[in-house]
Amino acid sequence: MVNRLHRRPEWQFFAVLPRADSKLATTWWVLLLARGVLPAVFAIAMGWLIGAVQHSTALAAPLTLMGTTFILLQVLTPMHQAVSANLGSRVSAYLNDKLAEACVGPPGIGHLEDPSLSEDLTVAREFDHGQTGPPMYLNVDFVAGSLVELVGGLASAIVLFGYTWWAPLLLVAAWTATHWLLRESGVWKDRNTAEVRSAQRHANYAYELAVGPDPAKELRLFGLADWTVQRFTERRRRLFELQYAATRLRERPMIWSLLIIAVANGVVFWSLGAAAIDGRLELDRLVVFAQVAIGVGMIAFGGLNWALDGAAAPVAAVQRLEPAMAPAGALSPGTLRVPGGAVELDIRGLSFRYPHADRPVFDGLDLKIPAGSSLAVVGQNGAGKTTLAKLLCRLYDPDSGTIRVDGSDLRQLDVDAWRGRVAAVFQDFLKLELPLRDNVAPAGAPEADIRAALADAGAADLADLDTRLATGYGDGTDLSGGQWQRVALARALCAVRQGAGLVLLDEPTAQLDVRGEAAIFDRILTATRDVTTILISHRFSTVRHADRICVLEDGHVVELGSHDELMALGGRYRTMFDLQAQRFTAEVDEEGLSYDTL
Ligand SMILES: Nc1ncnc2c1ncn2[C@@H]1O[C@H](COP(=O)(O)OP(=O)(O)OP(=O)(O)O)[C@@H](O)[C@H]1O
């Protein structure tokens, strides 16, 4: 029972408030309780004043109480609103931190590619985006307002006990019954179903398509602008339909609610009236009890309302994500470190399947890569080349089989220490909105190494090291696709200068022009000659320079050897090479530079 209560999103929301800011949360609760009880105090003060007038006693005390209560009612509301807005912002900041920790914390990346977590990730950002309701800084005030009503209703009920025990019980039961009867129409139920979350995610995606500068080009070019707007509108409409269905008032329970409330109030007010006529209830007490009897109705409008539902859902999503992401992105802990220099890799019986994927990418892969050698990996799209690079970086652990690094199982190595020994350029490499210097050496490196790495990548004159590589900043600039790729290459080459023993290059020259690629590739090979290099590429003009080439197919190595050996073999490699060669002719340009075409 207590556990179930703890798991409720509403509970999680209230538990987060003091964690976000304990002082503000305490102030928020104190103001909330004060605002809640003040209407009942005002009713008592009014009764007191009427009594004083009736009995001609001193008016100063009841008038002071009434005045003070009235002023407090006026003053505490804006104060509470300001505290709520502040607390809401703190809660957002707290949740953002938690979310960032949950995403960045795990050493692997399985949790970020796990489809079962992506919907919660969308809902979790609602406290900031406010796509389906008010954002957190507004919502905390709405929650406060509803709780003030709830406390007000309860305070009124307590005062009503002064009249008789059954009246408050009857009214509280009646007003609470409306909650129960209207629960099907109640917004705290059905608003965060998997269907709603999925609709929300689709709406979010459509929105990002519509506003992002990257998709903007092709959306326009392919005439998809209207389609995007339509998709966004449709998904939003679907979202609202689902929310409406979850929140619309159902007729029958509504009629029952009205009936119960009418009967309960009728009984209480009939009793109050009868007592007043019989002379059992003086006018001053009648005024107080009649006011609080009406006040009990506030219970119906307070508490579990849509604001609390909207505020609690993202909190609950963040709380769910925290424990779910850690195991999904976990890797077995290791402590070993490999000595410096080039590493030897020995892959045996490697099997791996992405979470929730129907089939494995590898199912018994064997491959040995001698220290200091270069290996090119070729194969059709989807053959598993990038996945192999991810496994070698230990972004995932294999399901079975081993990857041995200088004889040690990769799983037994200290993850951070191993990653310090690996340099990689992925197809979707990182573009940091930071100066060129930090893009080349995010963890810092001597300036001479940064400049040398840039020169090796053919980017010596690209920009000043302190130029920020991003538009949207006063001093920033953006680069072309090929220029960015040179920066990513420089980052890997700089890491080699800092002691990396394995370099993974996944289509490192895909965005370079043929001449740039030819000029740069020899320099890359020279810069990486003392380390183990794995090159993934569809460009056979670059692939042929590797010491050995391996052809991946269906998760297995189907051919392995030098360019000449594989050409002599006349198998897959030869076929792919010849196919590409037909489209190229060797050229010597006006400067006498021979493009290394096939
Ligand atoms: N995050 C993921 N979740 C599930 N499946 C994935 C994921 N990433 C890749 N895959 C699947 O794994 C297989 C191997 O993908 P991978 O990216 O390694 O191929 P690749 O050989 O690098 O392809 P390409 O030449 O197109 O870059 C593909 O079938 C792909 O659909």
- In terms of domains, do 133 and 241 share one? no
Q: Is residue 339 in a domain?
A: no
Domain hosting 223: range is: 187-248
Residues 6+ apart with CB under 8 A from 340: 421, 499, 501
- CATH at residue 75: 1.20.1560.10
Q: Which amino acid would we find at residue 221?
A: L
- In terms of domains, do 316 and 353 share one? no
Question: If you measure from the C-alpha of residue 65 to the centroid of ligand 1, how many angstroms do you get, rounded to a whole number?
Answer: 73
C-alpha–C-alpha distance, residues 307 and 330, integer Å: 35
Q: Which of 149-153, 227-231, 549-553 has the lowest mean pLDDT?
A: 227-231
Domain boundary among the residues 283, 302, 328 is at: 328
Question: If you measure from the C-alpha of residue 307 to the centroid of ligand 1, how many angstroms do you get, rounded to a whole number?
Answer: 42
| Strand bridging mode 362-369 / 345-352 | antiparallel
Task: Look at residue 345 in the predicted model and tell me its pLDDT.
Answer: 94
- In terms of domains, do 116 and 261 share one? yes
Question: If you measure from the C-alpha of residue 328 to the centroid of ligand 1, how many angstroms do you get, rounded to a whole number?
Answer: 18
pLDDT digits (tens, 9 = 90+) for 246-291: 666 667 777 888 899 999 999 999 999 999 999 899 999 999 999 9
Work out the pLDDT band at 591, boundaries 50, 70, 90.
very low
- State the total domains in the chain: 3
pLDDT at residue 23 tops 70? yes
Ligand 1: does its nearest atom lie under 6 Å from the Cβ of 386? Answer: yes
Q: Is residue 489 in a domain?
A: yes
C-alpha–C-alpha distance, residues 149 and 52, integer Å: 29
pLDDT digits (tens, 9 = 90+) for 336-346: 887 778 889 99
Half-sphere exposure of 232 (CA within 13 A, CB side): 15
Whose C-alpha lies nearest to ligand 1, atom 25?
Answer: 381
Work out the pLDDT band at 304, boundaries 50, 70, 90.
low
Ligand 1: does its nearest atom lie under 6 Å from the Cβ of 537? Answer: no
Residue scoring higher pLDDT (190 or 540): 540
- In terms of domains, do 521 and 454 share one? yes
Of all atoms in ligand 1, which is nearest to the CA of residue 388? 18
Q: Which of 71-75, 306-310, 571-575 has the lowest mean pLDDT?
A: 306-310
pLDDT at residue 200 tops 90? no
Domain boundary among the residues 328, 363, 382 is at: 328
Tell me the mean pLDDT in the region 559-575: 91
Three-class SS of 411-458: HHECHHHHHCCEEEECCCCCCCCCEHHHHHCCCCCCHHHHHHHHHHCC
Task: Look at residue 584 in the predicted model and tell me its pLDDT.
Answer: 58
Q: Which residue has the tokens 């949950």?
A: 102
Q: What are phi and psi of 424, to 5 degrees?
A: -145, 150
Q: Is residue 406 in a domain?
A: yes
- In terms of domains, do 123 and 195 share one? no
pLDDT at residue 318 tops 80? yes
pLDDT at residue 201 tops 50? yes
Q: Is residue 336 in a domain?
A: no
- In terms of domains, do 243 and 120 share one? no
ipTM over 0.85: yes
Question: If you measure from the C-alpha of residue 383 to the centroid of ligand 1, how many angstroms do you get, rounded to a whole number?
Answer: 7
Alpha helix locations (H) across 55-135?
60-104, 115-124, 126-129
Q: Is residue 335 in a domain?
A: no
pLDDT at residue 126 tops 90? no
Task: Look at residue 585 in the predicted model and tell me its pLDDT.
Answer: 53
Task: Look at residue 589 in the predicted model and tell me its pLDDT.
Answer: 46
- In terms of domains, do 424 and 282 share one? no
Ligand 1: does its nearest atom lie under 6 Å from the Cβ of 528? Answer: no
Whose C-alpha lies nearest to ligand 1, atom 28?
Answer: 382
Domain boundary among the residues 299, 328, 357 is at: 328
Ligand 1: does its nearest atom lie under 6 Å from the Cβ of 382? Answer: yes
Of all atoms in ligand 1, which is nearest to the CA of residue 389? 18
Task: Look at residue 392 in the predicted model and tell me its pLDDT.
Answer: 93
- In terms of domains, do 402 and 505 share one? yes
Whose C-alpha lies nearest to ligand 1, atom 11?
Answer: 382
pTM above 0.80, yes or no: no
pLDDT at residue 184 tops 80? no
- In terms of domains, do 42 and 147 share one? yes
- In terms of domains, do 45 and 192 share one? no
- CATH at residue 589: 3.40.50.300
Q: Is residue 337 in a domain?
A: no
Q: Is residue 455 in a domain?
A: yes
Contact (CB, 8 A) for 328 and 107 = no
Q: Is residue 333 in a domain?
A: no
pLDDT at residue 107 tops 50? yes
* Bridge partners, 400 (sequence order): 351
- In terms of domains, do 210 and 79 share one? no
- In terms of domains, do 366 and 503 share one? yes
pLDDT digits (tens, 9 = 90+) for 358-400: 899 999 999 999 999 999 999 888 889 999 999 999 999 999 9
pLDDT at residue 583 tops 70? no
